[in-house]
Structure 1
Amino acid sequence: NELGLTIEEVDKLTGPVIGRPKSATFRTVDVVGLDTLVHVANGIYENCPNDEAHGLFKLPDFIQTMMDNKWLGSKTGQGFYKKITGDGGKSEILSLDLNTLEYRKNKKASFATLELT
């Protein structure tokens, strides 16, 4: 989170705009499962100590907090995103705030440069 981007902003920048699926980064992790991401990333980190990208596979602390809370994604009902029933029985998507590790209303990500395309 060193760039200060929200979950929604990362997904906006790592989805169709760069030729990847709409699920982008964090929604894909929710579908696959955070536990799977942790297993794969830790496996690479432990088994490739001399790789030039070794440091990229060290998971941030908030991932362990999510694992401890069992926020594994779709399989547990919440991960980076959480679907709730809001006012009037309407479904609402909440997003995890990486600074507070609390869920908040989903904020639509917008980048002026992307609006030009």
Structure 2
Amino acid sequence: MRTYSRNPLRLTLFSGANYTGRRIQFRHGEVAVRNLGAFQFNNELTSFRLRNIVNPHEVTLVLFSRNNFQGNMRVFRGNQNIGNLANHNFNNVASSFILVRCRLSDQQIRQIQRTCTPPSDILVIKN
């Protein structure tokens, strides 16, 4: 039996609706991406699958419309499949994001946005 206690998070981003098009997978834990352009994925995100395979309620994905965790944002807590971000008025808008294995509060997210600093002890991808 496999144990996932070290890296239970799974995030798959898609450029097309309903999990189609180009795909980027994050399967190694918490991550903050300051600029999706580093993956040639800036303003390309249309759908995603979000999972914490150990505790489905303990995961937060925050999408930001600008680099460095700035601009408009959308927050997704708990395991989710979002087939079309157009339904959330955020299709082809995301430029940065934060993925953590806890439920970030709105206050914590505002602090991240105010300081441009992700939570400590997570992988930060700059450019």
Question: Could you state the TM-score of these two structures normalised by the residue count of structure 2?
Answer: 0.29
Q: When you count strand as a share of all residues, which structure comes out higher? A: 2
Q: Which has the higher contact order (CA 8 A, sep 6+)?
A: 2
Q: Which has the larger radius of gyration?
A: 1
Question: Could you state the TM-score of these two structures normalised by the residue count of structure 1?
Answer: 0.30
